[in-house]
Homo-oligomer: A and B are copies of this chain.
Amino acid sequence: MQLNFNSPKPIYLQMVDEVKKALARGELSPGDKIPSHKERAQISQVNPNTVMRAYQEMEREGLTETLRGQGTFIKNDPAILSIIRSEMAKSAVEQFIVEMRALGIEPEEMAQLLQDTLQNGPKEG
Contact = CB atoms under 8 A, between A and B. Distances in A.
Contact of A103 (B8, B13, B88, B99): B88
A118 interface: yes
Identify whether the interface residues of A are mostly helix, strand, loop, or mixed: helix
Copies of the chain in the assembly: 4
A76 interface: no
A61 to B, nearest CB: 11
Contacts of A102: 21, 24-25
Contacts of A115: 111
A115 B110 CA distance: 10
A92 B88 contact: no
B97 A89 contact: no
